[in-house]
A and B are shown apart, each in its own frame.
Chain A
Amino acid sequence: MTKEFKRPDGRKIEEMRPIRAEVGIIPNADGSAMFAFGETIAIAAVYGPKKMHPQHMQNPEKGTLRCTYNMMSFSVKDRIRPGPSRRSMEISKITEWALSPIVLIDDYANNVIDVHIQILQANASTRCAGINAAAMALAHAGIPMKGLASSVSIGKLDTQLVVDLNKDEEDWEEGEGATDMPITFTDDGKITHFQLDGKITPEQLKEVVDLGKKACVQINEIQKKALKDALKKEE
């Protein structure tokens, strides 16, 4: 089964699309990064810590992380209506939850750290690219963090698990169809985010976690390299 399975774009089952990562792409932001899985491109900008406005949203106990995810209207083949939608608001919240365990913002009472994620080009796995870009941008902005976070989507095409879905695979219709499972790991191998809509057996779920962990180790290396290269360039 494993050997004869063919992915639409000819990748191996554990092969991700070519990844590009860069840091410091937005001069006006306190920290910024770009992360791309093949044709899926996300950019993230971090502003702050700055005073939370409106005042009634201030938390006097600890700082707040506020993420906004947005898809540009030209990021997909059919133009999407610009502005916040049900989907983008949900992904913003998901991103916030995926990243909040790694940022150490207890000392920033009444302050907010704004993370703006823009999807320039979408070919599935946009939330994963967004989380990866945001983690890099937060580090670049000098926010104290426990570590980085890396995210990847694991797919189930019929019954076969594959790493890093693209749009063609997401629309898979044979057999049981496609199930998309975005998963986020910290660099010490803990899960901060996992989503699933569809069906999966408990045995296969364990496999999903293993595949995700393996892919995230690779992504983590690329993220670290991008952050280090940005400083080396200045030297």
Chain B
Amino acid sequence: MDRKIVIPGEIIASGDSLPGEWTEKRGSDIVALRYGLVDESNRLVKIIPLSGVYQPRMGNVVIGKVRDITFNGWLIDIGAAEDAFLSVAEVPRYVNKGGLDEVMDIGDMMVAKIIGTHKRSLDLTVKARGLGKIEDGMIISVNSNKVPRVIGKEGSMVKLIKDESKCNITVGQNGLIWIKGDSVEDELFSKKAILFVTEKAFVSGLTEEIKKFFIKK
């Protein structure tokens, strides 16, 4: 993981490389447009951002808070610039007319999936396993750019933490993480492990580090 750190305006490659995400071609050079790490695969050069607010994408599972109720759905704050909308049609149960607050009230937390990103709005659904209102447990917040490290390759990191702490963990792409364990001690333990991962997010061989962390405990 020896990737170069770049600053906007810096030349990252020249010649016949192709400009990827957050880069721009100026003459024959490829210039960075964002602060982050360079990722070069084949000829494509792109930047992995390390900071900034969460940018929603189609298919992301996120954790949000009900901010408002409209006549046909809920407005959910998912930490992005835009509020997301969850329609009653996307809830897998019967909802009484005018009784939306019986299902989810303002302030309730929920796990949802982004099914549509338009210019001015985001659409959510809770029609899948593992999605829906959060009744209990603990929610912690981490930098959304570090979420890929918390999840690990094909979910290896989060699986490891789940097995060690015996907690159920749902990681939202927006940086909110829901931990549900049998006892508060278990939940606090997995919180510690997740924060350990985010602190050392750029260490190479992070899985080894976290194994050492668990042995020490």
Task: List A residues at the B interface (Cβ < 8 Å).
Answer: 30-31, 48-51, 102, 104, 108-111, 139-148, 186-188, 223-224, 227-228, 231-232, 234-235
Contact = CB atoms under 8 A, between A and B. Distances in A.
Contact of B9 (A110, A140, A147): A147
Contact of B34 (A102, A144, A234): A144
Nearest to A148: B9
A194 B36 CA distance: 31
Nearest to A227: B7
10 contacts: A51-B81, A139-B7, A142-B36, A144-B8, A146-B9, A188-B9, A224-B10, A228-B5, A231-B202, A235-B202
B33 interface: yes
Given A51-B81, A234-B201, 4 more contacts: A147-B31, A224-B7, A234-B199, A235-B202
B8 A147 contact: yes
Contacts of A50: 53, 81
Contacts of B49: 142
Contacts of A48: 53, 81
Interface of B: 5, 7-10, 22, 31, 33-36, 49-53, 81-83, 119-120, 145, 199, 201-203
A231 B4 CA distance: 10
Nearest to B79: A50
Contacts of A141: 51-52
Say what secondary structure dominates the interface of chain B: loop
Contacts of A30: 51-53
Contact of A146 (B8, B51, B120, B201): B8
Contacts of B119: 109
A140 B5 contact: no
B35 A146 contact: no
A234 B52 CA distance: 17
A151 B107 CA distance: 45
B33 A104 contact: yes
Nearest to A135: B8
A230 B50 CA distance: 12
A31 B51 contact: yes
B51 A142 contact: yes
Nearest to A49: B81
Contacts of A188: 9
Contacts of A224: 7, 10
A232 B7 CA distance: 13
B82 to A, nearest CB: 7
Contacts of A31: 51-52
Contacts of B33: 104, 144-146
Nearest to B52: A142
Contact of A139 (B22, B35, B145, B202): B35
Contacts of B34: 142-145
Contacts of A231: 5, 50, 202
